[in-house]
Amino acid sequence: MKIYESAVRKPVTTALVFVAIVVLGLFSLSKLSVDLYPEIELNAVTVMTTYSGASATDIEQNVTKRLEMSLSTVSDLKKITSTSKDNISLITVEFEYGTDMDEAVNDIRSVIDMQRNFLPDDIDAPVVLKFNSSMMPILFLSASTSSNPQGLYKILEEKVANPINRINGVASVSISGAPQREIQVLTNPKKMEAYNLTIEQLAGVLALENRNVPGGNMDIGSETFSVKIEGEFKTSDQIKDIIVGSYMGKNIFVKDVATVKDTLKERSTIVLTNGEVSAMIVIQKQSGSNVVDIANKINKELPNIRATLPPDLELNVVIDTSDFIKKSIRSLSNTVMLAGLFVMVVVLFFLGRWRATFIIILTIPVSLIAAFIYLMATGNTLNIISLSSLSIAIGMVVDDAIVVLENITEHIERGSKPKDAAIYATNEVAVAVVASTLTIVAVFFPLTMVSGLAGIMFRQLGWIVTIIISVSTLAALTLTPMLSGLMLKKDPKRGKLFELFYLPIEKALNALDGGYERLLKFALKNRTVVIVASFGLFLASLFLLRSVGTDFFPETDNSQISIQVELPVGTRVEHSRILSSHIYSIWSEKYPEIEVLQTSMGQSDGSNVFMSMGSSGTNLISYTARLTDASDRDRDIFLIADMMRADLDAIPEIYKYEVTPGGSGGGMGAGSSDIEMDVLGYNMEDAAVVAEQISDLMKGVKGLRDIKISREDYIPQLRVEFDRDKLAMNGLNLTTAASAVRNRINGLITTRFREDGEEYDIVVKNSINFRTNIEDISSIQLYNNAGKPVRLSEVGEVIEDFAPPSIEHVDRERVIKVSGTIYKRALGDIAKDINRGVSKIDLPENIAVKMTGSFEEQQDSFADMYTLLLLVAMLTYIVMAAQFESFRDPFIIMMSLPFAFTGVFVALWLTGTSLSLIALIGAIMLVGIVVKNGIVLIDYINLNKERGMSVMRSIVKGGKSRLRPVLMTTLTTILGMTPMAIGIGDGSEIWQPMGISIIGGLTLSTLLTLLVIPTIYCSLNVRDIKKIRRAHLKGLKSKN
């Protein structure tokens, strides 16, 4: 018994099987986590080696080069980049996407172990750091208080950070910007010198005074007592009354030589939220946990936390990364629903019968829900890719059911009983249905095998569509005949109201049939004209390709902009602060779209990994702006970012700035793309000149912003150079002298003040007045072992100097990178402009220039896509050739492909969209979708021919009878994609190009397929007939 026969004969079993699928799917759906993208394992490992005291060049030659050489032997390697700075070597090893990173890290470790013996003796062991997407913070909170900033850190730690840390899945909560308490003993060097005291002595005394000492046990009578001496400071006030020495028989107290301040740390990050001083709380998740789940838990906990806080403390969410995810997913779900509705309307429009429409529409939920089971089983999440896959498939899942139902209806109308009709009619079309499904699978299945970044994005798409389409075919062969057998009737009665509505539609459809018949007859009579004209159109559209730009990923508006402002090196925090509030006042007025503007500046206090990863300094101000939802504003982040650039240009103090729409590290597809030019060459002077030229050139290219040269500037420094001979003469050694300088400027910590279980540093250093100019350094008094004082100026000098910048490598070659971000122009066009300019530059010997960045990735993945296109086209051809058992018929059907591409180009050109990876994927999908129409048409024409009709009659009759099914399946697919192409809601920009290219390609190719395919078919068949006639004529002649 065939599957459809059993399905019709056993309706209960069939129904329950599908109910089970739906229930299982809904269960999976309820368990699925939500995320933006499928999980991507970051493909980079960093090797960090410290070699104290070595200069950048030393590090490069002795550490970086050696390690790079051996690391380049690791398998699956994509790229090695490195930075050699003073004291440190950072090597980043990038792997191909999809590499097993655990294995890669092991390989790296063993390679490094092998090299260990060849590295300089006194380096620290290289540290291997594996980066993880979970290192990105998921939530930023800001806390501001109008009173008691001293206690802020403690309150935040106890009442905010700790409760959040207890939430399952939270990895770390770090607080920055909240000043930490510190007890400072600020000495006056002049007074110290007068009393013959040193900072080291003072600090030593404090350490000795601040101590609890156990004094052992004593038995008194029958009891044992422990003896304790509690010498620790009870209050910070006690410090000033400590005796540090005596001079001329009198005691010298701390207060005589220094001031004691119980205050906040001098240098730390200052964080402002909307112009007000605040603290920032950064929350990171554990790897493998879900962003949305954790963010939801934290948001649920926040009201409870707020309740415990003092009333003047305001706690706000600055950035919630789950927000964009949730919004994107919601808008995509709406897109799917809308697509479903459109499909329903089309089916009802063409069939004009409620029951038939119901039967067909039922396949949509059944097959879509099956996809959730797959997601659940493979541990995937509900993300943009999986939801878009549903949106893509929704228009195609009804196709098979339509074909089956149509044939069943025909059989019933010819007098079969519904049940028999259901079995035998399904039997007749089963092969064709399976074949057309196979063409779709032939397109989507290879997507699961794509490698690289595109592979991660499209693997899920490939699987989901393959599964959905397969399930829909299964439903079309079982559920649809079963329901048809039960529900369809011969000549169903139509309601009067329905008749009123539907009669005009029916008339229009009949008129359409007639019109198409006449048009087809005309085309068949003027075959050469039709064929030449349509191929002319295709060739003409290739010229359009010039004005359609190419891109890698479409830019998305995630309502975030991050801005880095760099003032001249050495600018003091106070100065930066004045400027930052100036910028804030400009922006808050100019851009009402900004909801929260967070500013951080000053040195990182190293309290969290994320903050210390970025460069920090007193001259850097970084802003993070959160804007209102994309749908609520007219200006997108790219426009606002560009306007901000103009604002920053107008401020002369600013040395450099960078405005990044989308924020840094917002994940793939978020924000804008970048372009990078690598200047490769050993001679750094030559390379710097070329880099400078390229940077000037890039500044002149339209659509490029934030041009940056990677080689940092020389940083001004004060270098203390001791004369060893003089040091020796004075009985000093370098380390003593150097640490004396450090202790006076940076400070010396020998003991800690304890209060309420917390420890605070007690720092001894020169008072701020004695730390302001070069004189202050050179007048530092050093003491030798004999206690004889020597001024620093006598044994060394202070030189104003510049620290040399770091040396970077790409694939073991020295490099200077020039990069820029792209603003509203296609990547391909910009790349072309830059390359044209670079070719004019006269390169010095041994200097090469290479384009990388998004452009390199685009080129790589485009090359992959073209291979994929060929593969897909071949597979589709094989499937069709097998179905028709002919080489020629699938070839004729394939003729509709060029017009699909013409449609893609026209649609992209009309909408001003550029050809991105996503649009290209759309074009590949078209291969499968477009040939379906041809299959339906040619199959029926062949059938007519086999039934003995003439070629012309077969074509005209076949075309006329297949017009409606072709239009119907095409319209369901087109309308299913429409919500995606229009782009509603946040994050829709990513998939818009795919919708646009599929709609464009499918529309044009369907219209032309309906004329061109029959025409070519006719021409080839007529040629056959003529050949036979000629042969026959020859036979006749030879007989005579």
Partner 1 sequence: MKAVMIIYNQAHSQVVLEILDKCTVRGFTKWVDVQGRGSKRGEPHYGTHAWPSKNMATLAVVPQERVQPLMLELKKANEMAEDQGLRAFVWEADVLV
Residues that bind partner 1 (CB under 8 A): 411, 414-417, 419-421, 424, 427-428, 942-943, 946-947
Q: Which two tokens stand for residue 500?
A: 């009123």
SS3 percent helix, strand, coil of the chain, rounded to 5, is 55, 20, 20
**Measured distance CA(270)–CA(278) in Å, rounded:** 8
If the CB atoms of residues 427 and 911 are measured against partner 1, the closer one turns out to be 427
DSSP-derived letter for residue 167 is: S
3-class SS at 758? strand
| 8 A C-beta contact, residue 227 and residue 217 | yes
**Measured distance CA(159)–CA(804) in Å, rounded:** 45
If the CB atoms of residues 411 and 817 are measured against partner 1, the closer one turns out to be 411
Q: Which two tokens stand for residue 297?
A: 């838990």
**Measured distance CA(877)–CA(894) in Å, rounded:** 8
Structure-token match 């699987």, residue found: 463
If the CB atoms of residues 85 and 419 are measured against partner 1, the closer one turns out to be 419
β-pairing, 560-566 vs 656-661, is antiparallel
If the CB atoms of residues 663 and 934 are measured against partner 1, the closer one turns out to be 934
- Taking the complex as a whole, the smallest distance from the CB of residue 884 to partner 1 amounts, in Å, to 10
Query: Would you tell me how many other CB atoms lie within 10 Å of the CB of residue 946?
Result: 9
3-class SS at 461? helix
- Taking the complex as a whole, the smallest distance from the CB of residue 943 to partner 1 amounts, in Å, to 5
| 8 A C-beta contact, residue 940 and residue 958 | yes
If the CB atoms of residues 417 and 1026 are measured against partner 1, the closer one turns out to be 417
What separation, in Å, do the N-terminal and C-terminal C-alpha atoms of the chain show? 59
If the CB atoms of residues 425 and 763 are measured against partner 1, the closer one turns out to be 425
Closest CA relative to residue 351, chosen from 420, 405, 417? 405
Closest CA relative to residue 822, chosen from 721, 704, 740, 697? 704
If the CB atoms of residues 370 and 421 are measured against partner 1, the closer one turns out to be 421
Dihedral sign for Cα 512, 516, 518, 519, please. Answer: positive
Enumerate the H helices of 569-705 as residue ranges: 573-590, 609-613, 637-649, 684-699
- Taking the complex as a whole, the smallest distance from the CB of residue 1007 to partner 1 amounts, in Å, to 28
If the CB atoms of residues 8 and 476 are measured against partner 1, the closer one turns out to be 8
Q: Which two tokens stand for residue 648?
A: 């920053």
Q: Rounded to whole angstroms, what are the CA distances from 779 to 211, 393, 623, 798?
A: 34, 79, 40, 10
If the CB atoms of residues 272 and 421 are measured against partner 1, the closer one turns out to be 421
Query: Would you tell me how many other CB atoms lie within 10 Å of the CB of residue 212?
Result: 10
3-state secondary structure 950-975: CHHHHHHHHHHHHHHHHHHHHHHHHH
Beta strand residue intervals within 694-780, DSSP E = 704-709, 715-722, 748-755, 758-766
Distance of CA 754 to the CA centre of its chain: 46
- Taking the complex as a whole, the smallest distance from the CB of residue 937 to partner 1 amounts, in Å, to 15
| 8 A C-beta contact, residue 373 and residue 28 | yes
| 8 A C-beta contact, residue 1013 and residue 896 | yes
- Taking the complex as a whole, the smallest distance from the CB of residue 892 to partner 1 amounts, in Å, to 17
Beta bridge partner(s), residue 273: 276, 598
3-class SS at 55? coil
If the CB atoms of residues 817 and 957 are measured against partner 1, the closer one turns out to be 957
The CA-based dihedral angle spanning residues 929, 935, 937, 943, taken in that order and rounded to the nearest 10 degrees: -160
With 0-12 / 13-18 / 19 or more C-beta atoms within 10 angstroms meaning exposed / middle / buried, residue 541 is buried
**Measured distance CA(954)–CA(654) in Å, rounded:** 77
- Taking the complex as a whole, the smallest distance from the CB of residue 922 to partner 1 amounts, in Å, to 33
- Taking the complex as a whole, the smallest distance from the CB of residue 420 to partner 1 amounts, in Å, to 4
Q: Rounded to whole angstroms, what are the CA distances from 1034 to 352, 666, 1028, 1038?
A: 56, 76, 10, 6
- Taking the complex as a whole, the smallest distance from the CB of residue 636 to partner 1 amounts, in Å, to 55
Distance of CA 600 to the CA centre of its chain: 24
- Taking the complex as a whole, the smallest distance from the CB of residue 958 to partner 1 amounts, in Å, to 12
If the CB atoms of residues 420 and 506 are measured against partner 1, the closer one turns out to be 420
If the CB atoms of residues 99 and 942 are measured against partner 1, the closer one turns out to be 942
- Taking the complex as a whole, the smallest distance from the CB of residue 970 to partner 1 amounts, in Å, to 24
- Taking the complex as a whole, the smallest distance from the CB of residue 942 to partner 1 amounts, in Å, to 8
If the CB atoms of residues 421 and 815 are measured against partner 1, the closer one turns out to be 421
- Taking the complex as a whole, the smallest distance from the CB of residue 497 to partner 1 amounts, in Å, to 31
- Taking the complex as a whole, the smallest distance from the CB of residue 418 to partner 1 amounts, in Å, to 10
If the CB atoms of residues 159 and 411 are measured against partner 1, the closer one turns out to be 411
If the CB atoms of residues 910 and 943 are measured against partner 1, the closer one turns out to be 943
Q: Which two tokens stand for residue 137?
A: 């913070």
Q: Which two tokens stand for residue 529?
A: 């004209």
- Estimate the crossing angle of helix 854-884 against helix 418-444, to 10 degrees: 140
If the CB atoms of residues 490 and 507 are measured against partner 1, the closer one turns out to be 490
- Taking the complex as a whole, the smallest distance from the CB of residue 856 to partner 1 amounts, in Å, to 51
Q: Rounded to whole angstroms, what are the CA distances from 278 to 61, 196, 281, 599?
A: 45, 43, 10, 10
- Taking the complex as a whole, the smallest distance from the CB of residue 482 to partner 1 amounts, in Å, to 16
Q: Rounded to whole angstroms, what are the CA distances from 998 to 899, 925, 927?
A: 12, 8, 10
- Taking the complex as a whole, the smallest distance from the CB of residue 419 to partner 1 amounts, in Å, to 7
If the CB atoms of residues 429 and 483 are measured against partner 1, the closer one turns out to be 429
- Taking the complex as a whole, the smallest distance from the CB of residue 957 to partner 1 amounts, in Å, to 13
If the CB atoms of residues 158 and 428 are measured against partner 1, the closer one turns out to be 428
| 8 A C-beta contact, residue 999 and residue 981 | yes
Q: Which element (helix H / strand E) includes 531?
A: helix 527-547
- Taking the complex as a whole, the smallest distance from the CB of residue 423 to partner 1 amounts, in Å, to 9
